[in-house]
Homo-oligomer: A and B are copies of this chain.
Amino acid sequence: MAGFSIGVDLGGTNLRVAAVTPRGERLDHISQPTRLHAGPYAVLDDMVAAIHTILDRRRNAELSGIGVGSPGPLELPAGILHHPPNLPGFDGLRLREELESRLGGCVSIDSDANLAAYGECLLGAGRAFGAESLCMLTLGTGVGSGMVLEGRIWHGMQGAAGESGHGPLDPNGPPCPCGARGCLEMYASATAIVRRAGQLGVGSAEGNGAAVPLTASCVAQLANSGDARALQVFDEMGRALGLSLSNLINALDLPLYVVGGGAAAAWPLFAPRMFATVREMSYVYRLSMPDDPAVYQPGRTHITPAQLSDAGLLGAALLPLHAHDGARA
């Protein structure tokens, strides 16, 4: 059997483990609920058991390494969790050390948002556009972000790079759990879609508060059926994404920006305003466009939906195959 590596995606809902070839083909896969209520050591046991199950099934193939993606904040390269909002009870967990002592070998660790960016870069949008550098925004419960520069994850000084979800867009905007106000996350996460829909009374006859709590995909359905207030929610979301992207594009001039995560499914609803805002607000984006502004053609700065449904898991599997700062292979 061919060589393979193991990727682990430790999510707040599901724990997923996969065997993957160096070209990104998935050979084996185990997915189970993350037993948060049982505490971090039970989850570690589940993770190690799943890894051993996969290793037993592929006994004759050569294991190239194990990579693990975790929700942040994650101190790198130590691999220590600090008050991760999506893994309650895991504060202070020395994830790398605990795994390495249980598995008896090295484990590569990085944040789920960084690994999603890495997976998209190597196997998804990055491959499609021939880009070695990209920034990915992951729109979920919050807004995660990861950056790959010239093929390597950019970690920053303390492993905290890629917090663009907490870049302030409106200092007078709604307060964010991060302590600031008007962050991108307050406009472009699934949570933000639901909150804004409630404020605008989406789904209620009177427009003054919805009778039942909506989900983000419900709001998207209403928008797709022409509901003006639901459409406004996504228009505002597109505006916020466009402003954040304009800041990133002007600062970094990357060839590719990828928008992923569950809430990115509403792409057709928010993308028109997002692109209009970037064209209006980013001088560097316009530099990369064809000369005739009347004819819209994709420029050399690409903004695109994520192409992989499991970029984070694939990115985790590929991580140990390459040397990284802050993510010992």
Report which A residues bind B (CB closer than 8 A): 73, 133, 135, 145, 147, 149, 154-164, 166-168, 171, 178-181, 239, 243, 246-248, 250-255, 277, 280-284, 286-288, 300-301
Closest chain-B Cβ to A143's Cβ sits at a distance in Å of 11
**Residue from the list B159, B166, B167, B252 in contact with A161, Cβ < 8 A:** B252
- How far apart sit A164 and B249, CA to CA, in the bound complex (Å)? 9
- How far apart sit A301 and B158, CA to CA, in the bound complex (Å)? 9
Contact residues in B for A246 (Cβ distance below 8 Å): 167-168, 180
Contact call A253/B283, Cβ cutoff below 8 A: no
Contact residues in B for A135 (Cβ distance below 8 Å): 251
Given contacts A180-B282, A243-B168, A246-B180, contact A251 B145 (CB under 8 A): yes
Contact call A164/B250, Cβ cutoff below 8 A: yes
- How far apart sit A145 and B252, CA to CA, in the bound complex (Å)? 11
Contact residues in B for A154 (Cβ distance below 8 Å): 149, 252
- How far apart sit A145 and B247, CA to CA, in the bound complex (Å)? 13
Q: What is the oligomeric copy number?
A: 2
Contact call A247/B157, Cβ cutoff below 8 A: no
Contact call A166/B250, Cβ cutoff below 8 A: yes
Closest chain-B Cβ to A164's Cβ sits at a distance in Å of 5
Between A162, A178, A246, A250, the greatest number of chain B beta carbons within 10 A of the residue's beta carbon is seen for A250
- How far apart sit A277 and B281, CA to CA, in the bound complex (Å)? 23
Given contacts A149-B149, A180-B280, A281-B171, contact A251 B163 (CB under 8 A): yes
- How far apart sit A243 and B283, CA to CA, in the bound complex (Å)? 19
Contact call A251/B167, Cβ cutoff below 8 A: yes
- How far apart sit A166 and B283, CA to CA, in the bound complex (Å)? 7
Further pairs besides A156-B253, A157-B253, A166-B283: 6, Cβ < 8 Å: A158-B253, A161-B251, A163-B253, A179-B286, A180-B281, A248-B251
Contact residues in B for A255 (Cβ distance below 8 Å): 157
The 7 closest A-B pairs by CB, nearest first: A156-B253, A161-B253, A178-B283, A163-B250, A167-B247, A180-B281, A160-B253
Contact residues in B for A171 (Cβ distance below 8 Å): 239, 243, 277, 280-281
Given contacts A133-B157, A251-B163, A300-B157, contact A168 B287 (CB under 8 A): no
- How far apart sit A133 and B161, CA to CA, in the bound complex (Å)? 13
Closest chain-B Cβ to A250's Cβ sits at a distance in Å of 4
Contact residues in B for A164 (Cβ distance below 8 Å): 247, 250-251
- How far apart sit A155 and B255, CA to CA, in the bound complex (Å)? 12
- How far apart sit A178 and B155, CA to CA, in the bound complex (Å)? 31
Contact call A167/B254, Cβ cutoff below 8 A: no
- How far apart sit A159 and B300, CA to CA, in the bound complex (Å)? 13
Contact residues in B for A73 (Cβ distance below 8 Å): 287
Between A157, A181, A301, the greatest number of chain B beta carbons within 10 A of the residue's beta carbon is seen for A157
- How far apart sit A247 and B180, CA to CA, in the bound complex (Å)? 12
Contact call A159/B253, Cβ cutoff below 8 A: yes
